[in-house]
A and B are shown apart, each in its own frame.
Chain A
Amino acid sequence: MPIANGDDAVTSETSLRAPERGTTKIHLVIEPGSRAIREELGDLLHYRDLLYFLVRREITVRYKQTLLGAAWAVLQPFMTMVVFSVFLGRLAGLPSDNIPYPVFAYLGLLPWTYFSGSVSRASASLVGNASLLGKVYFPRVLIPLSSTLAALVDFCIAATVLVGLMLWYGLWPSASALFYIPLTALTAVLALGVGMWLASINVQFRDVQQATPFLLQIWMFATPIVYPGSLVPERYRFIYDLNPMSGIITAYRAAALGEPIHWQSVGIAALVALAFLLTGWWQFRRMDRHFADIV
């Protein structure tokens, strides 16, 4: 039986027999330069189980040997919310669109913590797995991708606290909270795009490691998390919306409270996120066959 496809050959029972002699099909060509996109996508498909186990590894290992375990996923946004509520909500008296400031802040911090967490984990991921890069071939994209996906677990845990917090303040989560699913997908795409950029540059220039926390902090203040977006004057609105996280966070908030979602800014955010994803992937592909040499 001629082997029609290498993927099947490995998994099917027939592969237990000796591979047929005189197989004429060229399975793979190794050449300088980037690989064909089709080949790369095929590889991604073949290695999808690895993605699953990588995500599992990240999740299992993350809170190993910690006292509080997964409670950390809640503590981080929750404590930040408390601090912001005291200093910004109470003392500075920032407006919060007529909802209790703690709920307002947590609604923003929840997706932001997911975003910043997955960006910083993804950007450090390649360097953190340097020993793997030199020892085995697999689609390198899986590494930042698994960081982004694993951070979703933290997001889900922290989201349960949101429900409790809203009920505490007498707010009933709206049915439009179902929009959380596509919004989170959008956030993940954006985080992956940014993560791929940072991760691939970080392999060569560890400056990224220094710059990422700083970058994320600035980004956070350019996003309506501790203050409402309505504070920004209308004529700067368009520029402000170019920050994809601003549209996303505003939409998250509206979805939870059942207010109308500003689809135009979500659309802009989606376009920007897509641009990050595609350029990030382009940059990643440009570098990925050299990671092992320079990491």
Chain B
Amino acid sequence: MTQPIIRSENLSKRYRVGGAPRRHADFREAFDNLLRAPLRRLRSMRIEPSCEEETFWAVRNLDFEIAPGEILGIIGRNGAGKSTLLKILSRITAPTEGRIELRGRVASLLEVGTGFHPDLTGRDNIYLNGTFLGMRKKEIDRKFDEILDFAEVERFIDTPVKRYSSGMYVRLAFAVAAHLEPEILLVDEVLAVGDANFQRKCLGKLGDIAETGRTVVFVSHNLAAVQRLCRRAILLRQGRIADQGPVGDVVKEYLRVSAEEVSVSQFRTDARRGTGWARIIDTKLVDDDGNAIGSRACDQALNLVVDVETTEGHGTQTLRGLVLELMFVSDEGHPVTSVMNVDDGAAEFPSTNRCRLRVRIPSPTFMPGRYRLGLFLGIPFLQHVDDIDNALSFEILPPEMPWRPYELHPSRGVVCVKAEWECEPNPSLTRKHEETVGGRQ
């Protein structure tokens, strides 16, 4: 049995919870408090929180081992501790308890283009970024041409990167990272950038890195990518290891637990704009029985419920004439599609102050992955009444019914469509035939 290249023992990390400041009873108390505040804050300067403060464990008692050459996936929901674990492994932050032994040099990739400066040229940024990732100058010199080749930006190498298109920027950034040669590589979701083509290239590169016997720890939401790259995975849940083992089993467990936990998507209004005389007060993704849910299989209809009402003080004003638009955006930020309540056959607002709209998008819907919903309430081109980006985030799960013998992978696009196929056994092979097939799509 070879020595594990990474061994973690009882690893824990505690964070302080920023409590809301207490309200003051009167002016005197407030003033008093103002004078004492610096002292109190100074006392809180102690780096380790004292016991009376509210704390939480981002990761707790993690014991695991990773063998050399292994590609390990770490999965779990947001806040499960994946990123914290990665930050401890990459020495960005210190653990509160426990210990990790590493038997190799580590490089971590928590984002692409760390340290990129918009005013610097592509060339300067390659060196800056490379050295940030722990490369030496001569190492970058040696690989410079390879990096350029991979990024496909030769012509612009002496142009400041702020003039780059976002695609070029990301390609350059990933190219540097892809040429790291540490013994242990820690990767966080960086693959969720660039177009599908480039993502495939990145995944391929990660696969290559793995083939050379390097150890890779890969943290991702993208279950498909994890399944493709890794043979073993760890499932984190609330800071603890909930499961570990062969990747297929762990992913299955994750899906089972996620479904059980009824991860209801929360309606969020932190990015809200508009005059606000009418408001979207709630938006839910619901199942067939009307229960709020957070995920839906791609071969099931998407049901959404949106509650809208006029704000008080605008008593005479009704909702009539307003337009509600639902915009679906992929996790990478690409618009997928939009529906409006004034589309043909939809339901317009009646002359009331309060209204519930039910929207049903028949199956199949989108390719498995995370999506966000943006809402627009107003009159297009004239008035933003209530405009909410990221009102809801939800997951489209793989199909429940048999669909395709292969995986429905995000690299195949964002929209699921079911095509009707026909096959003529003995077609007359003429030009006309091509037209027929083209016309039937």
Taking each of A11, A19, A293, which has the highest tally of chain B beta carbons within 10 Å of its own beta carbon? Answer: A19
- Check if A21 sits within 8 Å of B68, measured CB to CB: yes
**Cβ distance A208 to chain B, nearest Cβ, rounded Å:** 13
- Check if A292 sits within 8 Å of B120, measured CB to CB: no
- Check if B128 sits within 8 Å of A54, measured CB to CB: yes
Interface residues in A18-42 (C-beta closer than 8 Å to B): 18-19, 21-33
Interface residues in B76-96 (C-beta closer than 8 Å to A): 87-96
Interface residues in B366-400 (C-beta closer than 8 Å to A): none
Contact of A10 with B117 at beta-carbon distance under 8 Å, contacts A23-B104, A49-B131, A136-B92 already known:
no
Produce 1/0 per residue, A122-148, CB < 8 A to B.
000000000011111110000000000
Give the docked Cα–Cα distance between A6 and B181 (Å): 11
- Check if A6 sits within 8 Å of B105, measured CB to CB: yes
- Check if B120 sits within 8 Å of A60, measured CB to CB: yes
Contacts of B15 in A (CB 8 A): 293
- Check if A27 sits within 8 Å of B102, measured CB to CB: yes
Contacts of A17 in B (CB 8 A): 212
Contacts of A287 in B (CB 8 A): 47
Taking each of B95, B102, B103, B214, which has the highest tally of chain A beta carbons within 10 Å of its own beta carbon? Answer: B103
* Cross-interface CB contact of A135 among B111, B117, B135, B137, cutoff 8 Å: B111
Give the docked Cα–Cα distance between A31 and B108 (Å): 18
Number of interface residues of A (CB under 8 A): 52
Contact of A50 with B132 at beta-carbon distance under 8 Å, contacts A23-B3, A29-B100, A30-B99 already known:
yes
- Check if A137 sits within 8 Å of B137, measured CB to CB: no
Contacts of B47 in A (CB 8 A): 286-287, 290
Give the docked Cα–Cα distance between A136 and B86 (Å): 11
Count of inter-chain pairs, beta carbons less than 8 A: 157
A178 within 8 Å of B (CB atoms): no
Produce 1/0 per residue, A3-16, CB < 8 A to B.
10011011100011
- Check if B90 sits within 8 Å of A26, measured CB to CB: no
Contact of A22 with B2 at beta-carbon distance under 8 Å, contacts A132-B114, A289-B94 already known:
yes
B213 within 8 Å of A (CB atoms): yes
Contact of A29 with B99 at beta-carbon distance under 8 Å, contacts A23-B3, A133-B92, A290-B47 already known:
yes
Give the docked Cα–Cα distance between A132 and B128 (Å): 12
Interface residues in B109-167 (C-beta closer than 8 Å to A): 110-111, 114-115, 117, 119-120, 124, 127-128, 131-139
A53 within 8 Å of B (CB atoms): yes
- Check if B87 sits within 8 Å of A292, measured CB to CB: yes
* Cross-interface CB contact of B105 among A9, A56, A132, cutoff 8 Å: A9
A235 within 8 Å of B (CB atoms): no
Contacts of B124 in A (CB 8 A): 53, 56-57, 60
Contacts of B136 in A (CB 8 A): 10-11, 46, 49
* Cross-interface CB contact of A11 among B99, B120, B138, cutoff 8 Å: B138
Q: Which residue of B lies closest to A13 (CB)?
A: B142
- Check if B139 sits within 8 Å of A10, measured CB to CB: yes
A214 within 8 Å of B (CB atoms): no
Give the docked Cα–Cα distance between A280 and B407 (Å): 56
- Check if B69 sits within 8 Å of A134, measured CB to CB: no
- Check if A30 sits within 8 Å of B92, measured CB to CB: no
Interface residues in B253-283 (C-beta closer than 8 Å to A): none
- Check if A11 sits within 8 Å of B102, measured CB to CB: no
B306 within 8 Å of A (CB atoms): no
B359 within 8 Å of A (CB atoms): no
* Cross-interface CB contact of A290 among B2, B93, B134, B214, cutoff 8 Å: B93
- Check if B104 sits within 8 Å of A6, measured CB to CB: yes
- Check if B182 sits within 8 Å of A10, measured CB to CB: yes
- Listed in ascending order, the chain B residues whose CB lies under 8 Å from chain A are 2-3, 5, 15, 41, 45, 47, 68-69, 87-106, 108, 110-111, 114-115, 117, 119-120, 124, 127-128, 131-139, 181-183, 212-214
- Listed in ascending order, the chain A residues whose CB lies under 8 Å from chain B are 3, 6-7, 9-11, 15-19, 21-33, 46-47, 49-50, 52-54, 56-57, 60-61, 64-65, 132-138, 204-205, 286-287, 289-290, 292-293
Other than A61-B117, A289-B91, give 15 A-B pairs with Cβ distance below 8 A. A10-B134, A10-B181, A15-B181, A23-B183, A27-B105, A30-B101, A32-B98, A53-B124, A53-B127, A54-B128, A56-B124, A61-B119, A64-B119, A287-B47, A290-B94
A-B contact pairs, 19 of them (CB 8 A): A10-B105, A11-B138, A22-B2, A26-B101, A27-B105, A28-B101, A30-B88, A30-B100, A30-B101, A47-B131, A49-B135, A57-B120, A61-B119, A61-B120, A136-B110, A136-B115, A136-B133, A137-B92, A137-B108
